Amino acid sequence: MDDSFQPDALLNAASSSGEAAEEIGNEEEDEELITPAEVLLKMKRAWQNEAAAPCILPHQYEILEILVDQIDGMDENLARVKDKTQLKVSIHRAELQRINYLTSDYMRIRLKKIEGNVRRIMTQHNERLRQGKPPLLSEQELRFAEKYAKAEAQLLGKSVLGFLPTPVQKIPHPEEDADLSSVYLQVLEDNVENVPLPDYTDPTAEVNHFRISFVIFNLLLNH
């Protein structure tokens, strides 16, 4: 999907889906007005980051919800078109399907990560809340994680753990070693905090704007 794509139907969505702009973030902060094209770009970056990261990242469902509203507006606009055989209708339908895939795959990737290590992720989520950091999971994801963990515990208890001696009747919590996982990093904005990266040839090296680097993911966890 091209970052510069600005479909007419998206930009002309009905006011109920955020025609003028949308507000993102905490209500106590200054209102941030964002165009539909910017919403699409932010969602694409969130999807790419989630797919590339070896662990689950803080959710971006406020962006996803705005984009879903935009999709609803596009659907309404297309439904009002009388001549369904127009080429532009087919193009907008195709692009709408691409955006639907993006949002669905973002949620699918996160649910797969939750299922892979649900108890560790719930622990990390609670730790972030205690530290005053943005939540790792959305409210819906947290409810899903709790139900999944409960179902998993019941299944293991009936099929395996119930037949073992009491001292070993514990559900293992696998530790994900993200220290050795590496990812590609690219700085896309100017107002980001400094992230120290090890460079054995130059200890003071910095990542320049738009430069792509291959770094250890653990260095980015707290940024």
Q: Are residues 13 and 116 in the same domain?
A: yes
Q: How many other C-beta atoms are found inside a 10 Å radius of the C-beta of residue 141?
A: 22
Q: Is residue 58 part of a domain?
A: yes
pTM: 0.70
130 and 207 share one domain: no
For residues 141 and 157, the answer to whether their CB atoms sit within 8 Å is: no
Same domain (yes/no): 154, 188? no
124 and 58 co-located in one domain:
yes
Reported as a single tens digit per residue, the pLDDT across 73-94 is 877 877 777 777 778 878 888 8
Asked, for residue 145, whether it belongs to a domain, the answer is: yes
Q: Is the pLDDT of residue 1 over 90?
A: no
Domain annotation covers residue 173: no
23/117 same-domain check: yes
Is residue 132 situated within a structural domain? Answer: yes
With contact defined as beta carbons under 8 Å apart, do 183 and 220 qualify? yes
DSSP string over 133-180: PPPSS-HHHHHHHHHHHHHHHHHHHHHTGGGS-GGG-----PPP--TT
CB neighbourhood size of 199 (10 A): 13
Burial class for 3, CB neighbours closer than 10 Å (0-12, 13-18, 19+): exposed
Q: Is residue 3 part of a domain?
A: no
In tens, the pLDDT along 147-171 reads 999 998 888 777 776 666 776 666 6
Residues 42 and 137 in one domain: yes
Report if residue 53 sits inside a domain: yes
pLDDT tens digits along 131-142 = 999 999 999 999
- The dihedral sign for the CA sequence 58, 64, 114, 139: positive
Same domain, 67 and 117: yes
192 and 102 inside one domain: no
| Number of domains within the chain | 2
Q: Would you state the pLDDT for residue 35? A: 82
- Separation between Cα atoms, residue 7 and residue 37, nearest integer Å: 8
Task: Give phi and psi for 186, each to the nearest 5.
Answer: -140, 130
Query: Which of 19-23, 97-101, 178-182, 191-195 bottoms out in mean pLDDT, i.e. has the lowest?
Result: 19-23
Q: What is the pLDDT of residue 48?
A: 93
Residues 130 and 190 in one domain: no
Confidence of residue 101 (pLDDT cuts 50, 70, 90): very high
Separation between Cα atoms, residue 81 and residue 76, nearest integer Å: 9
Residue 123 inside a domain? The answer is: yes
154 and 198 in a single domain? The answer is no
Q: What is the C-alpha separation between 178 and 29, in angstroms, rounded?
A: 33
Structural domain boundaries, residue 125: 8-162
Average pLDDT, the chain: 75
Which of the pair, 56 or 170, is modelled with greater confidence?
A: 56
- In this structure, are 22 and 50 located in the same domain? yes
In a domain, 168, yes or no: no
Hey, what are 70's tokens?
């935009």
- Mean pLDDT confidence for 212-221: 71
Based on the domain organization, do 139 and 203 belong to the same domain? Answer: no
